[in-house]
Each structure stands twice: as structure tokens, then as C-alpha cells.
């Protein structure tokens, strides 16, 4: 929505516009480089070619849609806006269905599965998870980005996120170094809670989808409620 | 009627949005805020928030990766 | 608006990004057997740097007792996570160049630098405790039906709330 005042300002500004440099040659060069590396991978290491291709697509998608996991947690708190959170819940909804199908096929093929055989990201959960998540939450708001956001913004040219990356290197390094301590204190006493182990695969799918749908509607309601208020 | 300029170059999320919020609070109806930013998250989240609040907003790209966002306070 | 403007120049809506990321994560799991995860790759880079400096992280408890040891044919520098992370950076770079929006953005001041570094260190440390970052322990863990994902999400909110308070007090 614009107003006449804004249209006037825009018109004035466009008259003064500087001549812009051309970035297309770099784009073409980079695209060629990407394709070359991809072809090299298909030749030498087929699995890596999938990582490469999907990574490129993830980078493009996140950059173009301005996706920011950090903002999805921060915006509801700071400005009452949940549009990103809804998009993530939608993504989780679809991924749940997809992962379910993959896990189902894996379990059918190998009924006596052990937890670490199941495709996906499954790890012990306990107080350490909560602690790590709180640290992560504080860090991501303060640094202005989370792990995925850091990578995407480095690609966009932010020098500040390179500093955050260095912080990540130091932090993960120290965390791994101190892991013996945390393991003895908390981790070794915890287990991996894989829902289907307790209630079966299909009920887990159903309950999780219902929960995600409910969260989506709550987020939507919260967002609409905040439209009535004017400022923070 | 006056214009306010906010320089948010090199600022990370969510600083441009928060600065805009604070400035808008202090403005009178009809005044225009010009936000100069190079953060592309901002053109999405500032635009979205401002539209929800009912103000007028538009933006143009003045250089590679730099935008000026014009907000007119409407209520 | 021309086709270029509509597809490449205009930002995509969030829900498009969400759906695409979900499909990409599923594709990753199907084709490689491992879900999307970022910070383990960063840890490997840190370990690679440490190795150059004479420290031997490969012998640490962390890498030997949980499945974080390297798979065969990989080193701390050349492994699947490195490929994925670098691809993400280059993909974002490509998108920005195609939309002619690339710009070097310097660090504004020392305060910003400190918060960036400090935030990064806290985040990195937190990921080792919770076995993953916002992607590994949240975006990939919830669809894997692991309780870890939900616990992480809940407490990330708590952390974000605390962080917002800090942001308002010191940075704004």
C-alpha cells in the first residue's frame, strides 16, 4: 500500500540513482564452477554429489525466501508476528510425512532395528538438551542468526556472520572438549526417546501431525490477535 | 510534515525493524520515515509488520543490496 | 513485471521456502541416508584446524564413544558435512548474485563484533550439549519422531526470550 507522498519520494529517488555495477558475470562464473564440481562428484564420489546439489538448492531457497529460523522464534516475542513460525510448522508437517515413509520402509526391511539404524536424527534427550537449547536460543538472538542463517548470510556478504562462524568453531570445539564432564553428569543417564518405540509408528505419525496442525492454528491466532495492537 | 531518516546500514536482524518501530511510535500521522538498510530480511519483515499495522509502505532498491523503505504513518 | 523480476528478483513467500526446505530435507534423507545437520560439520572444521596446530582431537572421548567418529574415506576437512555447508554458502551467493543484490557488509563496530563472537561461542557450546543445532536437533529431529526435537524447540523459545531481554537492554 502506498500513498501519494511515498510515490513522490520514490520518483525523486529514482532520478538520482547511481549507475549500478553488473553482477551477472560473477553469477555465471559461479554457476559454472558449481556445475563443474557437481560433475566431478558424480564421477568420484556419488554420495557427495547429492550433498552438493541439495546444499546448493537449500542455499538458494533460504536466501530467496528470506528464511530465518532465528527470526521465527524471536519475532513472536518481539513483535508478535508468527508468519515465519507458521512456515516452519508447515515444513515440519511435510517433513514428518516424508520421514515417516522413509522410516517405515527401513523398518519393514529390518524389523529388528536398533535405534541408530533408523534414518533421521535421533539422539539422547534429557536436561542437557534443555540446557543446550537455552544456550543456543540466547546465542542466536544476540548474534543475529542461527546455524543455517550464518551460512546463508556469509554467502550474502556479511562479514559479521563470519565472526559468528568463528565463534561456532570455538564453541563446538570447547563443547566437544568438555563433553566428558557433561556425559558423566547428564548424558549417560539419558536415553533416546523415539516415539514409535512407545506407541508405534502410525499413532506417532497421527499424533505429531495433529499436534503440528494445532500449533499452526495457535500461531495464526496469535498473529491475528497482535494486529489489533499498534506498537510494542 | 517532516521526514525522518534512519540509517541502518550494516545492522543485523532485527535491529532495522526495532529501530523503525521506536521511531514510528514517536511520529505523528502523515509523517514519513525513510529507512536506509542493506539487510534483505528487513524488506520482508518490516514491510509485513507495517502493512499489518495499517501504515503506508513501499521501497526501492537504490544500489546492489541497498534499499530505502518509505513508511508513512497512517494511524 | 518480467519473468526475471517475478521469479528471481522478488522475494519468495515464506511458505514457499518452508515447503521447499521440507522437500529438500526429505530428498537428502532418501539419497544419502542422513538428515540435514550443520554444526557437526563446523566441529569437524574446528578439529581440522586444531590438527594443524598439533592438538589431536580424534583421540578425544567425544569422537570415539558416540557416532561422531569419522566415516571411512573422510577426514576432518573433507567429509559430507563440509560439502553440504559449502554448498549452502555458494547456493546463497548464487541467488544473491542472480538478483544483483550482493554487497559486502562490514562489521559496524566493536560492540557488534563482541556480540557476534560471544553469541557464536554460546551457540556452538549449546549444540554439543543438545546433539545438534536448530537444524539438526529441531528441523531434522522433530520429523524423525525424536523427543529431542520438541524439548529443543521449547527451550529454544526460553533462550530466545532471555536473549531478547539482553538485546533490548544492551544493543538497541
Least-confidence region, from A120-124, A154-158, A221-225, A227-231: A227-231
Least-confidence region, from B43-47, C126-130, C152-156, C157-161: B43-47
State yes or no: pLDDT of A16 exceeds 80: no
What subunits make at least 3 CB pairs under 8 angstroms with C?
Answer: A, B
Alpha carbon separation from A152 to A41, A56, A187, B54 (Å, rounded) = 23, 11, 32, 31
- What dihedral angle (degrees, nearest 10) is formed by the CA atoms of C163, C164, C169, C172? 120
Reported as a pLDDT band with limits 50, 70 and 90, residue A79 is confident
Quote the CA–CA distance of A107 and A100 in Å, as a whole number.
Answer: 10
pTM: 0.89
Of residues A31 and B54, more confidently modeled: A31
CB contact under 8 A, B12 and C112: yes
Shortest Cα distance from C58 to chain A (angstroms)? 11
Record the cell numbers describing residue B69, joined without a space.
523503505
Taking contacts as CB-CB distances below 8 angstroms, the residues of chain C near A125 are 146-148, 151
- B3, B15, B53 ranked by CB distance to A230: nearest: B53
Q: For residue C68, what pLDDT is reported?
A: 65
CB A86 within 8 A of CB A216: yes
pLDDT tens by residue, A159-186: 889 999 999 999 999 988 888 888 888 7
Record the cell numbers describing residue C94, joined without a space.
548464487
Q: For residue A100, what pLDDT is reported?
A: 92
CB C54 within 8 A of CB A126: no
Quote the CA–CA distance of A88 and A86 in Å, as a whole number.
Answer: 5
C169 in B contact zone (CB under 8 Å): no
Q: Output DSSP code: residue C136.
A: I
Could you please report the per-residue DSSP string of A148-192?
A: HHHHHHHHHTBHHHHHHHHHHHHHHHHHHHTHHHHHHHTGGG-B-
pLDDT tens by residue, C8-40: 778 888 999 999 999 999 999 999 888 888 888
Quote the CA–CA distance of A2 and C3 in Å, as a whole number.
Answer: 24
Taking each helix axis from N to C end, the angle separating A69-78 and C147-166, rounded to the nearest 10 degrees, works out to 60
pLDDT tens by residue, A40-61: 888 888 888 999 999 999 999 9
Section A87-107 average pLDDT: 92
Record the cell numbers describing residue C71, joined without a space.
566415516
- C14, C96, C108 ranked by CB distance to B11: nearest: C108
What subunits make at least 3 CB pairs under 8 angstroms with B?
Answer: A, C
Quote the CA–CA distance of A123 and C106 in Å, as a whole number.
Answer: 38
State yes or no: pLDDT of A1 exceeds 70: no
Quote the CA–CA distance of C45 and C81 in Å, as a whole number.
Answer: 10
CB A211 within 8 A of CB A89: no
Of residues A169 and C72, more confidently modeled: A169
Residue B45: helix, strand or coil by DSSP? helix
Q: For residue B74, what pLDDT is reported?
A: 79
Taking contacts as CB-CB distances below 8 angstroms, the residues of chain C near B15 are 171-172
Quote the CA–CA distance of C62 and C43 in Å, as a whole number.
Answer: 11
Record the cell numbers describing residue C108, joined without a space.
559496524
The ipTM is 0.90
Residue of chain B minimizing CA distance to A15: B62
CB contact under 8 A, B64 and C105: no
C95 in A contact zone (CB under 8 Å): yes
Q: For residue A132, what pLDDT is reported?
A: 92
User: How far is Cα of residue A120 from the mean position of the Cα atoms in its chain?
Assistant: 15
Taking contacts as CB-CB distances below 8 angstroms, the residues of chain C near A120 are 29, 35, 140-141, 143-146
CB contact under 8 A, A78 and B12: no
CB B32 within 8 A of CB A5: yes
Residue of chain C minimizing CA distance to B66: C101
- What dihedral angle (degrees, nearest 10) is formed by the CA atoms of B46, B49, B50, B54? 170
CB A147 within 8 A of CB C172: no
CB B4 within 8 A of CB B12: no
Amino acid at each position: 500500500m502506498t500513498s501519494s507522498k511515498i510515490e513522490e519520494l520514490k520518483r525523486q529517488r529514482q532520478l538520482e540513482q547511481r549507475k549500478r555495477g553488473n553482477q551477472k558475470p560473477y553469477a555465471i562464473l559461479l554457476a559454472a564452477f558449481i556445475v563443474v564440481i557437481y560433475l566431478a562428484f558424480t564421477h568420484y564420489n556419488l554420495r557427495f554429489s547429492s550433498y552438493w546439489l541439495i546444499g546448493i538448492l537449500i542455499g538458494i531457497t533460504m536466501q530467496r525466501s528470506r528464511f530465518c529460523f532465528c527470526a521465527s522464534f524471536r519475532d513472536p516475542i518481539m513483535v508478535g508476528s508468527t508468519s515465519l513460525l507458521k512456515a516452519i510448522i508447515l515444513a515440519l508437517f511435510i517433513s514428518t510425512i516424508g520421514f515417516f515413509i522413509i522410516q517405515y520402509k527401513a523398518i519393514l526391511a529390518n524389523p529388528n532395528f536398533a535405534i541408530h539404524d533408523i534414518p533421521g536424527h535421533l539422539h539422547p534427550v534429557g536436561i542437557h538438551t534443555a540446557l543446550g537449547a537455552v544456550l543456543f536460543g540466547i546465542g542466536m538472538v544476540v548474534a543475529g542468526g542461527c546455524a543455517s542463517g550464518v551460512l546463508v548470510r556469509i554467502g550474502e556478504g556479511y562479514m559479521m556472520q563470519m565472526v559468528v562462524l568463528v565463534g561456532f568453531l570455538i564453541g563446538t570445539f570447547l563443547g566437544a572438549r568438555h563433553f566428558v564432564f557433561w556425559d558423566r553428569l547428564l548424558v549417560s543417564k539419558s536415553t533416546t526417546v523415539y516415539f514409535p518405540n512407545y506407541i508405534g509408528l502410525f499413532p506417532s505419525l497421527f499424533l505429531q501431525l495433529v499436534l503440528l496442525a494445532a500449533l499452526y492454528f495457535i500461531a495464526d491466532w496469535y498473529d491475528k490477535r497482535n494486529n489489533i495492537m499498534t506498537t510494542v | 510534515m517532516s521526514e525522518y531518516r534512519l540509517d541502518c546500514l550494516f545492522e543485523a536482524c532485527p535491529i532495522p525493524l526495532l529501530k523503525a518501530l521506536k521511531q514510528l511510535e514517536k511520529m505523528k500521522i502523515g509523517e514519513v520515515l525513510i529507512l536506509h538498510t542493506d539487510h534483505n530480511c528487513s524488506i520482508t519483515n518490516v514491510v509485513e509488520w507495517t502493512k499489518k499495522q495499517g501504515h503506508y509502505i513501499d521501497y526501492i532498491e537504490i544500489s546492489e543490496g541497498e534499499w530505502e523503505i518509505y513508511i508513512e504513518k497512517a494511524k | 513485471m518480467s519473468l526475471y523480476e517475478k521469479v528471481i528478483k522478488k522475494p519468495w513467500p515464506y511458505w514457499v521456502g518452508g515447503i521447499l526446505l521440507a522437500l529438500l530435507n526429505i530428498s537428502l534423507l532418501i539419497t544419502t541416508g542422513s538428515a540435514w545437520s550443520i554444526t557437526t560439520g563446523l566441529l569437524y572444521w574446528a578439529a581440522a584446524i586444531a590438527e594443524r596446530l598439533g592438538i589431536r582431537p580424534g583421540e578425544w572421548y567425544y569422537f570415539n564413544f558416540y557416532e561422531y567418529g569419522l566415516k571411512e574415506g573422510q577426514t576432518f576437512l573433507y567429509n559430507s558435512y563440509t560439502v553440504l555447508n559449502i554448498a549452502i554458502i555458494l547456493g546463497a551467493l548464487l541467488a544473491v548474485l542472480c538478483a544483483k543484490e550482493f554487497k559486502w557488509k562490514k562489521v559496524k563496530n566493536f560492540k557488534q563484533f563482541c556480540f557476534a563472537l560471544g553469541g557464536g561461542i554460546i551457540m556452538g557450546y549449546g549444540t554439543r550439549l543438545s546433539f545438534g543445532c536448530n537444524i539438526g536437533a529441531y528441523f531434522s529431529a522433530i520429523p524423525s519422531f525424536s523427543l529431542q526435537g520438541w524439548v529443543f524447540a521449547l527451550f529454544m523459545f526460553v533462550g530466545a526470550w532471555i536473549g531478547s531481554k539482553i538485546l533490548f537492554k544492551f544493543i538497541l
